[in-house]
Amino acid sequence: MNTTATQAANQSAVPAIGRVLLAAIFIFSGLGKALAPAGTIGYIESVGLPFATLGLIAAVAIELGGGVMLALGVKTRLVAAALAAFSVVTALVFHNALGDQNQLIHFMKNIAMAGGLLQVVAFGAGAYSVDALGARKSTLRAA
Distance, CA of 133 to CA of 143 (rounded, Å):
16
Cα–chain center distance at 28? 12
Measure Cα distances from 33 to 15, 30, 90, 97, 138 in Å. Answer: 28, 5, 14, 22, 38
Distance, CA of 66 to CA of 75 (rounded, Å):
10
Higher pLDDT, 50 or 4: 50
What region does 12 belong to: left with phi over 0, alpha with psi -120 to 50, or beta?
beta
pLDDT tens across 26-72, in order? 999 999 999 999 999 999 999 999 999 999 999 999 999 999 999 99
Which pLDDT does position 12 carry in this prediction? 86
Distance, CA of 90 to CA of 29 (rounded, Å):
13
Q: What is the mean pLDDT of the chain?
A: 92
- Which residues have CB under 8 Å from 23's CB, separation 6+? 67, 68, 70, 71
Torsion of CA 12, 13, 16, 17, to 10 degrees: -130
- Contact at 8 Å (CB) between 58 and 15? no
Does residue 1 surpass a pLDDT of 60? no
User: Which segment of 4-8, 54-58, 114-118 scores lowest on mean pLDDT?
Assistant: 4-8
